[in-house]
A and B are shown apart, each in its own frame.
Chain A
Amino acid sequence: MDVRLSAEQRALRDSAAQVVSSLAPRTVRELDDSERAAKLDATVDVSGWRELRTAAVAAGGVPLASAVETAIVAEELGRGLADTPFLGPTLAAELRRLAAAPPGSSLETVAFTPDLSAPACAADGVLPSPAIAIDARAAPSALVLVPASGGYRLASAAVPDARATLDLTRSVARLDYPAAVVSLPAQGRPLTAEDLVRWTSLGLALTCADLVGAMSGAVHLACEYALTRRQYGVAIGTFQAVQHRLADAFVSLEGSRSIALHAAWAVDASPAGAALAAAASAKAYCARAARTVCEAVIQVHGGIGNTWECLAHLYLRRTLFSSDILGGVGASLARVLDHHGIGPGDGLR
């Protein structure tokens, strides 16, 4: 066992951090800077980060990069509030890889149920209920599942105009209802239940990485503020009440980092059931931590933290969004108990 990042993994992290620090929004106002956003999109386009989970060879098989590398990128994008599609395209690429289908557009995304807890399912050529495509800005299409013999097949739905809702850094689109879907050509095999467990594990692990990154950025923001904002003649970070709130936030972040790292590793290294349990444990822990941490960050900012102009709510919004994708605290705890043979988990909070 040696869970230090390799030299290559550290280099990937550093290059992602560099892109994010130069091109991601540093103020709320910069979200509207379309020139900056276009540069970020273009840089990520050529980085190949959205294609990390495409098959290394055309016929399917192992991905170009492990979930650990993919999570490294997700964490850095979260830390910098990067407003560029990543999770949706990555999960779409993973679905295509698992179905032994050829790669699609690098901006293709995935549609979820309205609460984002599960992938959307179509039948008879239409989506029978409302669905939400994530990372929808510039996405030509969103993948959905269609029940078929042997499991599921993939179909694609057109993505209407996207808009930012909860998360101001990643836009969503509500798919027309009932939306027509087109079966994806050249699928080598149906997606099995185990494939979907594996895919869900990847999605949970990547949302955990995003949460860890966002928590880290938020804690950094609050510490900076605590050092500069003065009251009673001293920086507010001098006060123990503020220090303890930030210390608790940092401790939650560190625990989250450890459990999220393992979840990312388990996606490719563990049996499917164990990978899902690892991912669900991580998601429960990180999602609970993220909300508490981001709320603390708003509190440390005082009145300013409750204004639109302060970045703090961007972190809170992004973490709430990532938490909901493929299930937040309650759904994840239920999965953990299920893995231990205990159920039903209804009523968990």
Chain B
Amino acid sequence: MDFADSPAEAAFRLRLREWLGGNNPHLPASSTSDAYWAGQADWHRALYDAGFFGMCWPPEIGGQGLSSVYDVIVDSEIAAAGAPPRPHVGFLVEGLLRHGNHDVRCRFLPGIVSGRDRWCQGFSEPDAGSDLASLRTRADRAEGGAEYIITGHKVWTSYSDEADWCLLLARTDQGVPKHRGISAFAVSMHQPGVTQRPLKMINGITKEFGEVTFDGARVPASDMIGAPGEGWPLAMTVVSHEREPGQLGYVARYSKAASELAQQARGGAGRLRADQLNDLAWAIVEAEMLRLHVCRRLSERLDGASSGPEGSVDKLLMTSVEQAVGHAALAVGGAAHDGGDGTWLSMYLYSRAQSVMGGTSEIQRNLVATRILGLPGS
């Protein structure tokens, strides 16, 4: 039981620290500005080219083939340097690794890992949110059978404006129970029949979420990920990874915000009220908890255990951290009543989405209760 680095880990950490010293792009926080998204692709490629991205993925797809402990090191050094969090594509990688055939893995994964290709995720629909399996987007075999034709409406499609590809869930069989008739596809976003428009969030950002309509878009049958009807298991793989703070690299995001707020408080400690200090202290403690929780989770993975329902625990913990940091941002950073820099207000407003995106906290609690605590399903 040791939280300290092994010699190899320490050497890696030092190398990364030196690299970050000269390569930090100093982007604003991801959740508060469109400027982050404009610079994110370059940041992804810079990390990848320097060997600091995809630490635990197989070398065949561009990963470093190391243990997931190295992701913890990357996140902690990124946080210490105040650099932007690493882009999170782990849910795509895990979904394609586990469900794609050899051809799919070879064609798509290297571009995802290197950041050359940008992807979005076409899961949720206006009438299929928490009840994802009731999705209605259809993929119908075109004449001749070599292609599918996609018709439907996706929403909460992160980065749809930047994406080259969409990991799409669509119904391929209307005649079976809803969970069994769904298949997954890699659909090119660069074609007629695909229209995307941004969604403006409550903090004013427009670059993160979009909605996409598919009206006769085409996808080769060979770009189906997994077998026909394997869409639901693939979706479960993807969302369980999407819930994990270790995959997301969000530890760095929270630590960075908490330490910037602490810095601000040190500048004017005498002027802060007890309730402001209280919110700040909780942000620091919660961010630290999540960092250590990720250390514990990733260590458990060293046994080869794969992710299961405990991902829901991690998502709920991550949510409590994001929202504690949001409260501190509002309390210490301020609400910008004078119309000045609204970064902290923006961070607070964005934090409310964390208990919805990637599966609502209510759904996560259902999963914890039934899959971990053994309480009866309803």
Chain A residues at the B interface, C-beta cutoff of 8 Å:
1-6, 9, 68, 219, 223, 226-227, 234-235, 237-238, 240, 242-244, 246-248, 250-251, 254-255, 257-259, 261-262, 265-266, 269, 281, 284-285, 333-334, 336-337, 340-343, 345-349
Contacts and interface: CB of A to CB of B under 8 A. Distances in A.
B269 A343 contact: yes
A342 B262 contact: yes
Contacts of B374: 223, 227
B206 interface: no
Given A227-B375, A345-B277, A347-B277, A4 B317 contact: no
Interface stretch (B164-172, B222-230, B364-372): B364-372
Contact of A262 (B269, B274, B295, B310): B295
B4 A250 contact: no
Given A227-B374, A238-B376, A259-B293, A1 B277 contact: no
Given A244-B369, A345-B281, 15 more contacts: A1-B4, A5-B1, A246-B369, A250-B373, A251-B317, A251-B368, A255-B290, A255-B317, A281-B288, A281-B289, A333-B278, A336-B281, A337-B280, A340-B262, A347-B273
B9 to A, nearest CB: 6
B316 A240 contact: no
Interface of B: 1-6, 9, 69, 72-73, 262, 265-266, 269, 273-275, 277-278, 280-282, 284-286, 288-290, 292-293, 295-296, 299-300, 302-303, 310, 313, 316-317, 320, 362, 364-366, 368-370, 372-376, 378
19 contacts: A1-B9, A4-B299, A219-B373, A237-B375, A238-B376, A240-B369, A240-B378, A244-B366, A246-B373, A247-B316, A248-B316, A250-B368, A255-B293, A265-B2, A336-B284, A337-B277, A342-B262, A342-B266, A347-B277
A247 B310 CA distance: 11
A3 B3 contact: yes
B296 A258 contact: yes
Contacts of A248: 316, 365
Given A259-B289, A336-B285, A346-B274, A4 B302 contact: yes
Contacts of B372: 250
Contacts, number: 167
Contact of B281 (A3, A258, A348): A348
Given A258-B289, A261-B292, A333-B282, A341 B3 contact: no
The 7 closest A-B pairs by CB, nearest first: A347-B274, A243-B369, A258-B293, A247-B368, A247-B365, A333-B281, A237-B375
A1 B5 contact: yes
